[in-house]
Amino acid sequence: MTPGPLGPQEACLIRCFAQELATTFDTTDRTGHFATHLPMRALRNSLVLNAICGISAQYLLRMSTESSSPGMVKFQGTKLPHLTEESVMQYQSTCINLLIDASANPEEHADGDILSAITILRFHEQNDVLMTGSDFEVFQRAVQHNFETQFAQGRGLGQALPSLFTPLPIFQPNHLSANIAAYLVALRMEIWAVLLYQRPIRLPLPSFKDCRHVHDGEIDDDYLWTRRVLVWCAHVLKLHFGSDGFDVSDDGYASASELWGALKAFEFDWDTRPPSCFQPLYSRQNAPQQGRYFPELWLANPCQVMALQHIEFGRMMLANHEAQLQNRRLGGGELASQASEALFLHSMRTICGLAACHSDRHEALTAAAVAISMCGKYVRDAGERSALMSILHKLRTDFAWNISHAVNALNGGAGDATQGDLRT
């Protein structure tokens, strides 16, 4: 369905999405699908329009609440007197109804539009934890269903996954690039959800053997390397937590131990021969005695930040998986637990250091919040807890994002500190 002429409110909401929100969706997409292509699709597609307006309205309302002078919502000087929480619900409800119709009649809708809209709804749902206190993952299930259906029918994601590690023309965005862009955002959010909720992975994954195969011309392509890291991390989680749903990958590994060896080999290769394009512009080790609790790493491209953060997530879960196997075989659970705790803290500090050095990036700060949620209980130093809270405060005030899960984790490790020192 084609929307009618836009009024000032919808026009502002589309501009808000393109200028304020889309960059976090496009971190792994060189073509900038969400920032450049999707806003134009909103002019011709009501499903995309309502998805964009819903998330932008939510963002502006939350930012207005966080403002030192809350009141009428504005965007770049334009007042939006009719923008309320009811507006968010209306945009979202309309989008859901259109999505149901699109799913029932997929031949009438571009797959990229459906995947993009439903990915935005899932992003919206994650932020809704601010109000509900719980992530019911309703739209995550919808993401899973649509991805599985399209793959089974050989369209949409079924066409996109085989091309995930193939360079596409930068200036020729098409439905294939739209599907890939949406899938990568959904995969990132799925990784975070699995880490937070310790549940099976639900999205279809490309073969890990395809992930490991690198052509000579791709050696310095940081976008493709970031995609590989995300898929590697997802396979680590799948090995540890299992999968729930339609499994499309055929890795060809004879056993779980053989797959584990391949995943460890990827980690080893990255540590010993990292891609040259990931060389930091500047780096400095942490020095807690001087008040620097996190290592500093400055990188040229936000996708590089995402890759390095997810290398650490994968490293943590591989170590945890190995420790559990060791406990079953040999015992010695306490020593394994101490080693895992030390590695978890090291990885968390690396993830948070990357976020602190790139604090304008929503996705980097969100990854840090996930790491703090996982490891905050191990942090006992009051100065380090304060540094972690500074990162969370930045995520809440600059991006109106939920931090309660991470703050609760920090409170759990506060020890003798006053619990009231750590607040949402």
Dihedrals phi, psi of 78, to nearest 5 degrees: -90, 120
Q: Which residues contact 95 (CB under 8 A, 6 or more apart)?
A: 47, 50, 51, 54, 117, 121
Distance CA(40)–CA(307), nearest Å, equals: 29
Tokens of 301: 């491209």
Q: Which residues contact 135 (CB under 8 A, 6 or more apart)?
A: 125, 126, 128, 129, 193, 196, 197
Look at the alpha carbons of 95, 99, 105, 108 in this order and tell me if their dihedral is positive or negative: positive
- Note the pLDDT of residue 294: 98
- Dump the DSSP string for 281-350: SEEE--BGGGTB-S-EEE-S-HHHHHHHHHHHHHHHHHHHHHHHHHHHHH--HHHHHHHHHHHHHHHHHH
In angstroms, the CA 186 to CA 120 distance is 9
Tell me what the mean pLDDT of segment 267-296 comes to. 95
pLDDT, tens only, 150-189: 666 666 566 677 778 877 655 555 667 888 898 899 999 9
Span 329-340, mean pLDDT?
60
Q: Residues 242, 246, 248, CA angle at the centre, nearest 5°?
A: 90
Q: Confirm if 379 and 388 have CB atoms less than 8 A apart.
A: yes
- Per-residue confidence band for 149, with pLDDT thresholds at 50, 70 and 90: low
Q: Is the pLDDT of residue 421 over 50?
A: no
User: How is residue 167 annotated by DSSP?
Assistant: -
Closest CA to 113 of 20, 58, 190, 37: 37
282-284 and 296-298 strand pairing:
antiparallel
The angle formed by the CA atoms of residues 270, 273 and 279, to the nearest 5 degrees, is 85
End-to-end CA distance of the chain: 41
Q: What residue spans define the domains of the chain? A: 1-201+208-217
* pLDDT tens per residue, range 284-331: 999 999 999 999 999 999 999 999 999 999 999 999 988 887 776 655
Model confidence pLDDT, tens digit, residues 230-264 = 999 999 999 999 988 655 555 667 788 899 999 99
